[in-house]
Amino acid sequence: MSEDWNTKYGPRRVRRDPPTLDEAIFAAVGITDDVEAQAEIAASLMGMPFETVLAEVKKQSRISARGVTRVIAGEQGAQRSVVVERRVVRRFSNDKKRTGT
């Protein structure tokens, strides 16, 4: 998809690419912790079927649940592994009272 418009320097074109499925899932993970809600958000962003996106979200949540291991080289070249875990906790005391607005 592209859009053209004329400027004093001539016609300009901007390319607009829809997000990839990984980008849509990443955005959904930042919004909610619920896997089904993440799949619903990503499916609406991508315009894909819910079941297809749900399978991919579950696959990525299993991978991210393991944690991320990074290898860092020390001063003398010795390697040591560091486990980095990201925990996102967004809890609201009045979840049942919240509306979709």
In this predicted model, what pLDDT tens digit does every residue of 17-56 receive, in sequence order? 777 888 899 888 888 888 999 999 999 988 899 999 999 9
- Do the domain assignments include residue 37? yes
Give how many domains the chain has, as a whole number: 1
Q: Give CA separation, 63 vs 53, 56, 60, 69, in Å.
A: 15, 11, 5, 12
User: Per the domain annotation, does 95 fall within a domain?
Assistant: no
**Per-residue pLDDT tens over the stretch 47-78:** 899 999 999 999 888 776 665 555 555 566 56
53: in domain: yes
Residue at 101 is within a domain: no
Pairing of strands 10-15, 68-73: unpaired
The pTM for the full model equals 0.51
pLDDT at site 72: 53
Note whether residue 98 is domain-resident. Answer: no
Rounded alpha-carbon distances, angstroms, from residue 29 to 3, 37, 41, 56, 78: 31, 9, 9, 12, 35
| Structural domain boundaries, residue 78 | 2-84
